[in-house]
Chain A
Amino acid sequence: MIKLQNVNKYFYRGEPREVHALRDINLIIEAAEFTLFRGPSGCGKTTLLNVIGALESCDSGEIFLKEREITALSEEERTKLRLHEMGFVFQAYNLIPVLNVEENIGFVMRLRSFSEEEIKQRVLEVATLLKIDDKLKSLPNALSGGQQQRVAVARAVAAKPKIILADEPTANLDSKNSEILIGMMRELNEREGISILFASHDELIMRSVTRVLTLIDGAVADDYKQ
């Protein structure tokens, strides 16, 4: 489903401080995989997640989502691709502070012009699954970190994307909340067939995923399924 061919990414290219963030990445990720990119800090796992998520462009190589080459897309097309095909979960929750939980979860659906009825139904469904259905009218700052991250996951899955990209989703959570969150994401992965890609060095996530890719200095050092 996602195919990367000879992907290279540099930061500060041509400068003395140049960093070769991704080195000749060749990778195929099948639909509904539950995958982790792991490795030490600075190994390129977040950058890999970003280039797959069309948030950053690569300097060479191609990335295909299904048969579509996303590296050839314009910025506007990449924005549309993110809106229609992808969901994002960030380390710092990154909810919209002025919207309540219900509005945050339904935000992407509204951008995609789902009907109000569909949004209401889906928001309730996802919120129930993630056990935040009693917090729908609360503002993000009234929730705990674990609850906020569940809202972020709910927002990412509500519009039924093909892929969810989660960058260190458990970094700000305690182990109990991390376990709950990963369990829920696993359930979403199995139940809704969404590919979920993590960038993390959390052992808990490593134990839960079905595939682990280890990156070292921007290159894939190890790739195994479990």
Chain B
Amino acid sequence: MSDTVRSLAGQEEARYRALQAVDPRAPGALETFTTGLHDESWRVRHAAAEGLRRVPDAKGVTARLISVLGERGETGARNAAAEALAGMGPVAMPPLVHLLEHEDPDQRKLAADILGALGHPEVEDALLRALSDDDLNVRVAAAEALGRMGGDAAARALEGLLDTPTPLLRLAALEGLASLKRAPPLERVMALVEDPGLQRSALRLLGLYSPGVATERICRALASPVRSVREAALVALGTQARGLGPYERGELDAVARSVLGGIPGVTERVAQALDGEDVQVRAGALVAAGALGEASLAVPVAEVAREDRLLREVLFTLGQLGADGRRLLLGSMGMLSLPARTVAAEALVLLVDATSVPELCALLEWAEDDLRAVVVRALGRTRSPAAVAPLVELLADPSLSGIAARALEQLTVTHPLEALTALEVAVEQRSTPAAVAVLGRLGGARVLPVLRRMARDEEASWRAAAVEAAGHADGEAGLELARGALADESPRVRIAAVRSLGQQGGKEAATFLGLALKDEDRGVRVAAVEAVGAAGAKERSPDLESLVRHGDGALAMLAVRALTKLGTVGAGVLWDALSHPDAEVVKAALAALASAEASADGAALAVSLLGHPRWDVRVAAARVLGGLGRPECLLALEQALSVERDGLARVALADAVARLSGR
């Protein structure tokens, strides 16, 4: 094989393909891949490194790779071997630790580098010893490696290096501590921050301290003429602000404001940083912009929303820029990027008043759907009668009708007459069935004649809207229309009738829902199951119980939820539901267990689910057991916790154990 690969000299693609075709389990694969590590092409070397990781004899591969590390003058092969070793996992650790003792300092350095890349804390002691190596490069590599995965001992050692006379080691120690998020005593870092060679790393480390003196020093660095120093300061400011509560954040903002306010040209510098590439620098620039409260920064702040990870900070910062900033955004809407426009619009929602309607309507002319949704919400907050007509019109837009309906409801509080009149006109003009639904909710008995007429409309969508709306408008009329609508030929109308019956409740509704549960259409049956729960129709419980074993997970899950609502979940039903193949049914049953007077049998059922293959079921089971408070389940929970690998399930199990053991 090796010969085949070699014979393809000058044909990089062919060598690459040949190497990829090598079976890592075949005899001679190790040799072929090792030869590939020495290829002139990085693509071939990379393919060889990947191939070596798949060879079954991991120990043999590791030994061979380590021997390649010793090949002086073969830089490409050594780097490829280092890359392969970093991907070998724990098997590579003992020989690499051994290599730290090699007489060649280059190999000792490579060993430290690779151990750092492997990132296993078990080698911390070996790397700590390497901090005393005769060779400076080895000591620096060891310090850097410890910064990637060290524990308490590493942090103490790195802290000790802050006093070393060698600047390179001090630098590695600062970077390592920052990476480990271990803050040494503040005064030690404050001393180093004045050293131009260490300033950037020391500034980053200052980000780990609480707001106060450190904030002041970080902000002063924004006066530096050196851009990289300013960026390090901004990274530190962003780190410091992360996760602070409102009080501490206020403290940080106050200190930052007092320092930044005295730096000439700081607004321009912050604007420049907001437009930068580095996400951490931009995070810090947002903090600085918010502290400054400078309205002119509103547009660059909003544009940071293009970075999803900073969205929360952008929203917070826009709030700090006040009404002037938000007005500036409104004027610039057309030129903002989509994410910036979306956050700007959200900020706008807070600003609107009765005078904003024309501007909001202008936005509706050209805005994308998600922005239009925010504008619709804003229209509802204007408290202006002028917003009624555009909102009624928007009811016809399927993606916005729900939001427009809620916005109209808000407006009805202050302008009921205008809203009802506009809705009645819209219904008369047959603009959209959604107007009927809102009319029924807002108009009460007054609009019943219109609803009765619409319930006989030739189009199913209008009949459905009228039947459901009647349920909101008047109980008795709603029941009457719903009964008739259950015989409608359109499933859509029958679903509307079922929902209306669910709202009404009572004996008659329960009888009709019994019929709907046997409807030929699945959608009607699904709606009926939900409606039985909503109506409190206990007499329908046997119908629901028969659905719990249904192969359709939706029907089974909804039946369990409805039975839970009715308070009629029996043990047999629980058994059926907990063994259902659909996890959502099982979770619904667990929720039922939690809400019922659970017996020892119920707890045993939940315990049996701690080993369920799905993490969400195990989480639900642990929560239920924590809530049931039965001490006999503690052992099972502890055992489950000891083998659980899923993070969320572990948290749920640990909570349950704590509750049951009283810890």
Co-assembled chains A and B = no
Interface residues of A (CB under 8 A from B): none
